[in-house]
Amino acid sequence: MKKLQLLLRWVLLSLFVVLPAAAAGGDPSTEIALIFTVSFMVFVIATLMYIIGVMNTNIDPIADLYFRIKHYVIPPPSEVAPDVGHVYDDITELDNRIPPWFNYLFVGTILFAFVYMLDYHVFGVSNLPEAEYIEEVVAANLQKKIMLASGGTINENALVALKDDASLKEGAENFQKFCVSCHGPQAGGLVGPNLTDEFWIHGGGIKNVYTTIKKGVPAKGMISWELVFTQKQMQNLGSYVLSLQGTNPPGGKAPEGTKYVEPAVAAAADTTAQKSL
């Protein structure tokens, strides 16, 4: 009796000491820990008061309940499964206990569901999928703005071939680093086609060349480069490739594909032809 009363006093003292110290922190994670701690202490206090006041310190029923639960989860070795009275092909059907691991798993799912409910739906510590999606969209938009501010992202619908020295120099460096194994150091073609003539397999012009670099040609062994280069780097690389038109390096491969004429040039030629008629 005295030991239980002493334990109750100790729990109450701990509760009054922990509460003010934790409440002064103001940290959300501390507040959650405080809620669980207080809930556990209240449960312990209620249990001790029940034992002292109602059961008159007689803990035999609690001990009996504990062993009942224990023997339900882990059957004692001496227990024999009862015979249900069914025999098929000399095989006797016994009413065996559910395997302990299954009971553990079942109880674990209940505990997980309880913690999940408190975490996601009661205290809101973790975000639900919709909130996570919104956060990811916000982060992606922020990253996009940063890239736009740094010049890493461009408007792909308004591509133009760049001719300034800095862009062509960067394009040349990336070409020598990543493209010479297939197209040769002078873009005359090795495994890949010759990039210095007017014929293109997948279309010429900056937009088509840019798309080919970005998406690649997996069927012919050219990977997609959009995860390696930024949009600006792909534009610089495409502009450098187009700057090599007409260089005709020695040992270049024969033309492949279809001769490409820029739409604006083709339209101007048609207009001139119609005027001459």
pLDDT band at 10 (very low <50, low <70, confident <90, very high): low
User: Residue 113 carries which side chain, given as an amino acid letter?
Assistant: A
Residue (of 155, 145, 175) closest to 236 by Cα position: 175
Say what the pLDDT of residue 272 is: 45
As annotated, the residues of the chain forming the CATH 1.10.760.10 domain(s) are 156-270
The runs of H, that is alpha helices, within 151-258 are 165-178, 180-183, 205-215, 231-243
Say what the pLDDT of residue 274 is: 45
pLDDT digits (tens, 9 = 90+) for 130-182: 989 999 989 888 876 776 566 556 788 889 999 999 999 999 999 999 999 99
Q: How many CB atoms lie within 10 A of CB 189?
A: 21
Residue (of 6, 8, 31, 10) closest to 21 by Cα position: 31
Least confident of 17-31, 179-193, 226-240: 17-31
Cβ contact 40:3 at 8 Å:
no
Distance CA 244, CA 261 (A): 16
- The pLDDT > 70 percentage for the chain reads 72
Q: What is the pTM of this model?
A: 0.47
83-88 and 199-200 beta bridge pairing: unpaired
User: 83 in helix, strand or coil?
Assistant: strand
Say what the pLDDT of residue 20 is: 57
Report residue 239 as tokens.
Answer: 């502009």
What distance lies between CA 275 and its chain's CA centroid? 60
Report residue 29 as tokens.
Answer: 């994670």
User: 235 in helix, strand or coil?
Assistant: helix
Say what the pLDDT of residue 55 is: 64
Return the CATH number of the domain spanning residue range 156-270: 1.10.760.10
- Residue 18 confidence (pLDDT) above 60: no
Cβ contact 188:237 at 8 Å:
no
- Residue 9 confidence (pLDDT) above 80: no
